[in-house]
């Protein structure tokens, strides 16, 4: 499993997490939030992108992303559930790494690509329930920039 970083290039999960840990411990007086969000784009296939954003609150941040190509998924419901499952999978891996590295007080948030307006409004309760039930904070649009801006940028 590889991740891309706009500044560091292709990284394994362990290299990415070491970079994130170094970023967080490099300025320990700052507050941090790790945001995970997924988005997808359907063409001949479906391109799923999961972004991991490390926000140094008030001082910028950095991000990494993973691209995954799947067969064409036409069902919006199936796509949203798959995006959420991808975010939860990475979220679990990140929190496990943090627990083993002594960074378990770092807040991890899952951003879901659903909105109170439009076609996805009927899915909000279910996907937010999935995220909260998995032990994460959930954000939906317009606050879900991890999915709707960062991950979306790399699905094109």
What's the pLDDT score for residue 156?
85
Instruction: Give me 67's structure tokens.
Output: 């691209």
**CA–centroid distance for 5 within its chain:** 14
- 132-151 residue pLDDT tens: 999 999 999 999 999 999 99
Q: Tell me the chain's radius of gyration from C-alpha atoms.
A: 15
Q: For residues 38 and 51, is the Cβ–Cβ distance under 8 A?
A: yes
Structure tokens at 85: 């499952």
pLDDT digits (tens, 9 = 90+) for 91-103: 999 999 999 999 9
Q: What is the pLDDT of residue 78?
A: 97
Dist. CA 139–CA 156, nearest whole Å: 23
Q: Where are the domains of the chain?
A: 2-153
pLDDT at 146: 93
Give the pLDDT mean for 18-35. Answer: 96
Q: What is the pLDDT of residues 29-46, one digit of tens each?
A: 999 999 999 999 999 999
Nearest-5° angle of CA 85, CA 77, CA 66?
A: 35
């Amino acid at each position: 499993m590889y991740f891309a970083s706009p500044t560091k290039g292709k990284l394994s999960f362990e290299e990415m997490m070491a970079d994130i840990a170094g970023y967080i411990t490099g300025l320990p007086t700052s507050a941090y939030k790790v945001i995970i969000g997924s988005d997808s784009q359907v063409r001949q296939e479906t391109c799923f992108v999961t972004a991991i954003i490390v926000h140094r609150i008030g001082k910028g941040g950095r991000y990494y992303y993973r691209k995954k190509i799947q067969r064409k998924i036409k069902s919006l419901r199936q796509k949203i559930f798959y995006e959420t499952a991808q975010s939860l999978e990475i979220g679990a891996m990140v929190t496990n790494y943090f627990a083993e590295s002594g960074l378990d007080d770092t807040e991890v948030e899952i951003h879901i690509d659903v909105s109170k307006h439009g076609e996805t409004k009927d899915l909000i309760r279910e996907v937010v329930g999935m995220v909260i039930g998995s032990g994460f904070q959930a954000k939906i649009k317009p606050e879900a920039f991890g999915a709707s801006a960062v991950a979306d940028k790399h699905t094109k």
